[in-house]
Structure 1
Amino acid sequence: SAKRYIKIANGSTNSQKKSANKTANSQKGKVSKQGASANADKHKKSTTASNSQETKPIRGSRRSPPTNPFKPGNQQALKHGGYGRRMLLSDAITEDAQALTLDDELFWLRAANLTAAENIGRWQAELELAGDEKAKDLHELISSAQKAMHRNTVRIESLEYTKGSIEKLRVDAAYRERATEKVEMEIDIMKDGDKDNAIVVHNTLPIPGR
């Protein structure tokens, strides 16, 4: 009938409107969600950039300004001292000279003495077949070598004495340091009034060289 047709037509029209509104609302929601996510990403990137600029690692620590570990007038980067710059010494010589110790000096002196002794033995063998002029020169060489050996021996004795003195000074300094610690602990114990603890602490302090 006509009423039924009109009712069906109105129902189909309403359903079409509802579906259209639903589609529009869903698209609007997607657009709003996309916009919100884009804004969130943009805010996140800006926050990350600002944080990265603020917390950018710098020398010394993350936030404090860089500090210079060297004091004014330091010589850390200086390879050549006064003699090295004026004598035009190479880097290798300078580095080796800085690494040498008294033991190296003793080794060189003893090696020089052995070399001189070897030369004296060879020259004495040549004396048996040498003439007067040659023998005179050989005697001078032998005498010079012997004097050099005596000087080297005196230098060796001096270096050995210096080594012993350095070791003694080191032991004495350690002893004085321990003794100072002991006196300071005794003063603290006298203030606290705990003598038993003082005995235990003193027994745990070894005295070098004593």
Structure 2
Amino acid sequence: MAKTDWKKLEQKFQRAHARTGIKLQDWCKQNGISYDTARRYIKLRKNEQGAAQKNAQKNEHKNAQNSEQFSDEKSSFDEAYDEDGGAKNSEESCAENDTDFAKTKRIRGSRFVAPTNAFQPRNTAAVKHRGYAKHLEKDYLFDDAAEMALVDELVFTRARALSVTATLKRMFTELEKTEDILARTALYGKMMQAETALDRNIARIESIERTLGTLDIIAVTPARIVADTEYRVAAREKVKAETQRLTAENKGVITPLTEAIDELQSLNKGGKL
């Protein structure tokens, strides 16, 4: 039995809901899907529900306007036809309607004009957050998280450490004033927990500082690699140029070794003695 792809079904339902405002139960009945099973996998975010309701209201309002306009045009046509001669008045009313229609006529193809601010290729702004968004109801959490960086976590962790330190100070003051054994024991336990939390925050601060230092090194590493590569290429070209210069300078110079080689080659024995 093939496994049901609930993610695709969820996307399909969201498109249908945004277009018509259909409910999940009705949509499942139309597509032959179990509603009890589908409602565990198919979720609808609140902003999409509001948009679907607005679209449904907009469609109803548009239909009502069309029906009213049709009835008005029909009544005006009947009145024009019934008055003095019928056909003449009808022609005049049609001409007036044509004039109004020319002013309000929709330009064909206007909706298909390419937008001036179209998305770039491979743009995923419309599907950002992907699988995480359906687990949180508050959209502003993603907006705030997108603006944060590791430095913000460092500042937040330091603020937590300061908060724990202030809490420990209050606990010490309260411990000095408390004489009850049970209350002092409870305070000791809370102080131990607060000190453990402070140690964790300090360790977290050190870890973030090391990570930020590593990121700074990684940021300058590509430029260093490029510079080293360019230096090696330049050094290789320099050695090649010096070799060519020395070869050109030594060309035609006769030494005892070159004389012996020339003599062996003139014997036509393939270099054999």
Q: 137, 143, 157: which one pairs with 1:109?
A: 157
- Indicate if the aligned counterparts of 1:79 and 1:91 stay in contact, CA closer than 8 A: no
2:168 to 107, 112, 120: 120
| 1:155 CA displacement | 0.8
- Structure 1 segment 1-210 matched on structure 2, within 5 A: 59=114, 69-71=120-122, 74-88=123-137, 90-130=138-178, 131-184=180-233
SS in 1 for 2:216: helix
User: SS at 1:77's partner residue?
Assistant: helix
Deviations along 1:140-190, one digit per CA (max 9) or x if unpaired, are 111101000000111111110011111111222210022234445666788
Deviation at residue 93 of structure 1 after TM alignment? 1.1
Q: Which residue of 2 aligns with 1:32?
A: none
Q: Name the amino acid aligned to 2:172.
A: Q
Aligned partners of 2:150 and 2:131: how far apart in 1?
A: 22
Q: CA deviation digits over 1:60-92, x for unaligned, max 9?
A: 99xxxxx97323xx522224332232233x222
% identical equivalent positions: 29
Q: Which protein shows a greater Rg?
A: 1
Structure 2 distance, partners of 1:140, 1:91, is 39
Q: CA–CA distance in 2 between the matches of 1:60 and 1:118?
A: 56
In structure 2, do the counterparts of structure 1 residues 111 and 91 end up closer, same or farther at CA, with 3 Å as the change threshold?
A: same
Secondary structure at 2:177 match in 1: coil
Match of 1:206 in 2: none
TM-score by length of 2: 0.41
Aligned-partner Cα distance in 2 for 1:189–1:91: 60
Q: Where does structure 2 lack aligned partners over 5 or more consecutive residues?
A: 1-112, 243-273
Counterparts of 1:93 and 1:178, CA distance in 2: 42
- Per the alignment, residue 247 of structure 2 pairs with none
1: CA distance, partners of 2:134 / 2:235? 53
| Unaligned segments of structure 1, at least 5 residues | 1-57, 62-66, 195-210
Q: Separation in 2 of the partners of 1:124 and 1:142?
A: 8
Q: CA RMSD in A?
A: 2.9
Q: Is the 8 A contact 1:127 1:138 kept in 2?
A: yes
In 2, the alpha carbon distance for the partners of 1:168 and 1:187 equals: 28
